[in-house]
Amino acid sequence: MSRLDDMIGRLRAAFPDNDSIHTSVDLASITVSPADLPTVALMLRDDPALSFKQLSDLCGVDYATYGQDEWNTETAGTASFSRAVDASSVGRLSFGSEFELPDIGRARFVVVSHLLSLDHGVRLRLRCDAPDDAMPVVPSLTTVWANADWYEREAFDLFGILFDGHPDLRRILTDYGFVGHPFRKDFPLVGNVEMRYDPVKGRVVYEPVSIEPRVLVPRVIRDDARYVSGAVEEEATAAAKAGQSAA
């Protein structure tokens, strides 16, 4: 892991004002604001000490229902399974059902990129929060890494995140004429429309979905001690040690 520690040090030296640089499991992580993103990305690519020449991946994340579960695990109840499950989660939405998004107190849409430095053999996670939930706009990285093009089209298609400066922001994965952004947490898992061939009209027609939502296993968050993994414990002890040595 020394390669990673080296890189963390170099990142801290390159971006002294950024306090979000940390190790996440086995790669470095940094969060930047949309305004800083273009300059930071250029530096990450061109600075020989960093040299993140390749963009491995770029994706959108919708944090709207982060940390929400469907089953109360703290107390035991007498309610049966079906009553215990909260029916408001995205997997259980059907056509036309209203879904109230909770206030999460943070940016809803985040663009996460994974960068690779072949020279140093390290990966970096570059996070950028989109400031406005209703109209999420983030600067495009297409001028820095050419393959950001399709990844950004995908994030636009699936999440509705707009990329400022993208040369050709079209939908990529969904159908021609698709409405909505399917990977958002308020988009039903079963979708909104289904299509079939209508022999009377002699063409393909779109209709509201007829399938029932069918998610069988409830979403359960357990934070008991038994689920604390070795890696997390190690991280905690390492953090404690670092705290001691700093003191």
Partner 1 sequence: MPEIRNYTLNFGPQHPAAHGVLRLVLEMDGEVVERADPHIGLLHRGTEKLAESKPYNQTIGYMDRLDYVSMMCNEHGYVMAIEKLLGVEVPVRAQYIRVMFDEITRILNHLMWLGAHGLDIGAMSMFLYCFREREDLMDCYEAVSGARLHATYYRPGGVARDLPDRMPQYEANRFRSAAQVKKQNAAREGSMLDFIEDFTNRFPGCVDEYETLLTDNRIWKQRTVGIGVVSPERALQLGFTGPMLRGSNTEWDLRKTEPYEVYDQLDFDIPVGINGDSYDRYLVRVEEMRQSNRIIKQCIDWLRVNSGPVLTEDHKVAPPRRSEMKGDMEALIHHFKLFTEGFSLPEGESYAAVEHPKGEFGCYLISDGANKPYRLKVRAAGFAHLAALDEMARGHMLSDVVALIGTQDIVFGEVDR
Q: Give kind and range of the element (H or E) at residue 82.
A: helix 81-84
Q: Sign of the C-alpha dihedral, residues 85, 89, 90, 92?
A: positive
CA distances from 220 to 1, 67, 84, 231 (A): 33, 10, 11, 22
Q: For the segment 195-214, give every residue that binds partner 1 (CB under 8 A).
A: none
Q: Which of residues 118, 135, 195, 205 is near partner 1 by CB under 8 A?
A: 118
Q: Which of residues 1, 96, 226, 245 is near partner 1 by CB under 8 A?
A: 226
**Using the rule CB under 8 A, is 193 a contact of partner 1?**
no
Number of residues that bind partner 1 (CB under 8 A): 53
Which residue number, 198 or 234, has a Cβ lying nearer to partner 1? 234
**Shortest reach from residue 159's CB to partner 1, in Å:** 10
Q: For the segment 119-158, give every residue that binds partner 1 (CB under 8 A).
A: 121, 123, 125, 145-147, 149-151
State the Cα–Cα distance between residues 89 and 102, nearest whole angstrom: 11
**Using the rule CB under 8 A, is 94 a contact of partner 1?**
no
Q: Sign of the C-alpha dihedral, residues 21, 27, 32, 38?
A: positive
CA distances from 224 to 79, 85, 212, 221 (A): 22, 20, 34, 9
**Shortest reach from residue 92's CB to partner 1, in Å:** 9
**Using the rule CB under 8 A, is 38 a contact of partner 1?**
no
